[in-house]
Amino acid sequence: MVKQVLPNRVDPWQFASKGKQLAGKVAIDNMTRLHQSLVQPQGGVDVSLHFGIDAKGIHYIKGHITTTLILECQRCLLAMPWFVDINLLLAIMTSDRQSNEDDFDTPYDIYIVEKANENLSLLDLVEDELILALPIVSKHDYPCSDFLKKNVVNMTSTQRHSKQVHPFAILKDYKIK
């Protein structure tokens, strides 16, 4: 499969019926919702997608997404690389489709497309998967204690307490009449 720039929007129903495959790159700087979680919103995401219809007639997308995101470590507040490797298997369904018991007995995660004739944004699909893959708390795999020792422990306790201002100190100037 030749890597290419992925199209912005595709017709998932048509792609599934034709068994199409796509492989290419998506730029991270186009993913505005993901930006707030990144230190550096730059680079690319490698994506490969295969559209199809299974034996039950479910339209699906099977794919693989890989990239390295630059997140902020929540311990030392330094930038850290976070490698993302996602295998996805999504059933494409419309929001108005009536679900039945068999829909929940499948290996698929469900991806909702609002209307049956609506095109699917591949950028939104990839961005959704990356957001779901983010850690709850990003931190280095190793202890960040060396950084913390250098920058926080050197501060004496008097330095820490002298900078504290009581949040209600301003109220002492007001008198109740």
| 101 pLDDT above the threshold of 60 | no
- More reliable by pLDDT, 104 or 82: 82
DSSP, residue by residue, 38-77: -SS--SEEEEEEEEEE-TT--EEEEEEEEEEEEEE-TTT-
Comparing CA positions, the residue from 77, 61, 57 lying closest to residue 10 is: 61
Averaged pLDDT of the chain: 82
- pLDDT-derived band at 148 (thresholds 50, 70, 90) equals low
For the chain, how many helices (H) and strands (E)? 5, 8
In this prediction, residue 162 carries a pLDDT of: 56
Question: pLDDT tens digit string along 36-78?
Answer: 999 988 889 999 999 999 988 888 999 999 999 999 998 888 8
65 near 56, Cβ under 8 Å? no
Phi, psi (degrees; rounded to nearest 5) at 137 = -130, 115
All structural domains of the chain with their residue ranges: 4-143
| 160 pLDDT above the threshold of 60 | no
In this prediction, residue 52 carries a pLDDT of: 94
In this prediction, residue 60 carries a pLDDT of: 93
68 near 43, Cβ under 8 Å? yes
Structure pTM?
0.75
In this prediction, residue 84 carries a pLDDT of: 94
- pLDDT-derived band at 100 (thresholds 50, 70, 90) equals low
